[in-house]
Amino acid sequence: MRGIRGAITVEENSARAIGRATRELLQAMMEANNVRVEDIISVFFTLTSDLNAAFPAATAREMPGWNRIPMLCAVEVDVPGSLGRCIRVLMLADINLGQREIKHVYLREAAKLRPDLGE
């Protein structure tokens, strides 16, 4: 089992924008690591406090095969000066990659968060 990290910024606090960003990030994480839906053990989402229009897990459950994956959403710690309008993800997957082979995915402005882990 491996953990795959990801993050993406959202252009506005709307259900549509949060849903679009969630799908984009999850698909990119799966493609980058050759993860199939049946490989996913669980997914943990956090959102910055300025994103409260929708749950990312609700969007994920609408994706094919995702309705049985355990998921949880929480609010990210509100550190002063930190990146806003950001969704962060920790995906646990049953894949045969070493830790150094995992490709963590940081999209849009979130690419600034972990340049040491991004592509």
Tell me the per-residue pLDDT of 35-44, one tens digit each, with 9 for 90 and over.
Answer: 999 999 999 9
Residues 78-102: pLDDT tens digits?
A: 999 999 999 999 999 999 999 999 9
Among all residues, which ones are annotated catalytic? 5, 61, 73, 76, 88, 106, 114
pTM of the predicted model, to two decimals? 0.94
A 10 A CB-CB count for 91 gives 26
SS (H, E, C) the chain: CEEEEEEEECCCCCHHHHHHHHHHHHHHHHHHHCCCHHHEEEEEEEECCCCCCCCHHHHHHCCCCHHHCCEEEEECCCCCCCCCCEEEEEEEECCCCCHHHCCCEEEHHHHHCCCCCCC
Local confidence band at 116 (pLDDT 50, 70, 90 cut-offs)? confident
Full domain range(s) for residue 63: 2-112
What local confidence, expressed as pLDDT, does residue 12 receive? 98
pLDDT given for residue 107 in this prediction: 96
pLDDT tens track for 3-39? 999 999 999 999 999 999 999 999 999 999 999 999 9
pLDDT band at 115 (very low <50, low <70, confident <90, very high): confident
Residue 119 inside a domain? The answer is no
Residue 117 lies in a domain: no
pLDDT band at 114 (very low <50, low <70, confident <90, very high): confident
User: How many separate domains does the chain show?
Assistant: 1
User: Is 92 contained in some domain?
Assistant: yes
Whether the CB-CB separation of 48 and 112 falls below 8 Å is answered with no
Q: Which CATH number is 46's domain given?
A: 3.30.1330.40
